[in-house]
Amino acid sequence: MHKAGFVNIIGNPNVGKSTLMNAFIGEKLSIITSKAQTTRHRILGIVNGEDFQVILSDTPGIIKPAYELQESMMDFVKSAFDDADVLLYMVEIGEKDLKDEAFFNKITNSKIPILLLLNKIDTSDQAQLEEQVQLWAQKVPNAEIFPISALEGFNVKEVFNRIIELLPESPPFYPKDQLTDKPERFFVNETIREKILLHYKKEIPYAVEIETEEFFEEENIIRMRSVIMVERDTQKGIIIGHKGSALKRVGVEARKDLEQFFGKQVHLELYVKVNKNWRSNQRQLKRFGYNQK
């Protein structure tokens, strides 16, 4: 008997969805930073076993959209309800509600099996944990509750085993050696974007999009050329930094991570271009893989 199905992870920004998905997969597919709205796309990660295939989907954090890019991000979240065999609704200790009431109603009225994952329990004590379990049991009575720590790996295996139990019988949807549905350039872009999220403040990380224009794989090295898009000239200056020092740091750190990810030497060229107001431009959003309606 072979089981296969789609398991979609939803929740508020910064609750640990990407950390959990990477813990399940054992590869760094989703970028992880302490800033909200790190994940912009819906990223599929595939875990294969002899008699199962779990197709995990990490989605952007649920927010009230303020501009076109965020509208598109929320469309990725809405689509997570359409094809899920199991829904992982992730909250963190101390959290009391979802930022969007309509989404919350969708969860509580869902016919899909729901596992409510109470994350970051390593930051709480027993009394708070018991109070939170009680709160969420009342709020989402149709869910099974698992206290977890995605970062520390606590209860992650138990959640994964329960997912497999809930999956329908099915042949695999993807080849058994496939790790994700995303192309290689996508992970180059995300790795560079992660470094920008880590090293720049205020609006800079949210005004940035990455496009990898060249990706040539040779026997011993991969040569990449990527462009960092910003919305204004002032942002371009900040990204580059004094005598190019800030951009160089991003390049060095991204290259190290990419060498680990691809398992071979990487040559990475980085450039910065101004692409005015791309976050509110439908044509540009489509070009970067958003607005897939």
CA torsion through residues 58, 172, 85, 82, sign = positive
Q: Give the end-to-end CA distance of the chain in Å, rounded to a whole number.
A: 36
Token readout for 164 is 């497999």
Q: Sheet holding 221-230: strands in order across?
A: 209-217, 221-230, 265-274
Do 72 and 291 meet the contact criterion of CB atoms below 8 Å apart? yes
Q: Does residue 211 register a pLDDT over 90?
A: no
Do 190 and 205 meet the contact criterion of CB atoms below 8 Å apart? no
Q: What pLDDT, on the 0 to 100 scale, is given for residue 291?
A: 54
Q: What CA–CA distance (Å, rounded) separates 116 from 87? A: 8
Do 35 and 205 meet the contact criterion of CB atoms below 8 Å apart? yes
For 87, the 3-state DSSP assignment is strand
The stretches of the chain forming alpha helices (DSSP H) are 17-25, 68-79, 101-108, 126-139, 156-166, 184-199, 233-240, 245-262, 282-287
**CA nearest to 258, candidates 274, 292, 250, 211:** 250
Q: What pLDDT, on the 0 to 100 scale, is given for residue 17?
A: 81
Q: What is the pLDDT of residues 94-115, one digit of tens each?
A: 887 666 677 777 788 888 899 9
Confidence band (pLDDT; 50, 70, 90) for 193? confident
Confidence band (pLDDT; 50, 70, 90) for 26? confident
* Sequence-separated (6 or more) residues with CB below 8 Å from residue 43: 21, 29, 30, 57, 58, 180, 182
Average pLDDT over residues 89-93: 88
Q: What is the pLDDT of residues 31-75, one digit of tens each?
A: 443 334 444 445 567 888 889 888 887 665 544 544 454 554 555
Average pLDDT over residues 150-177: 89
Do 25 and 47 meet the contact criterion of CB atoms below 8 Å apart? yes
CA 108 vs. chain centroid, Å, equals 23
- Residue 283 amino acid letter: R
Q: What CA–CA distance (Å, rounded) separates 98 from 244? A: 41
Q: What pLDDT, on the 0 to 100 scale, is given for residue 146?
A: 95
Q: What CA–CA distance (Å, rounded) separates 7 from 80? A: 9
SS3 content of the chain, % helix, strand, coil (to 5): 40, 25, 35
Average pLDDT over residues 228-241: 87
Name the strand (E) or helix (H) holding 269: strand 265-274
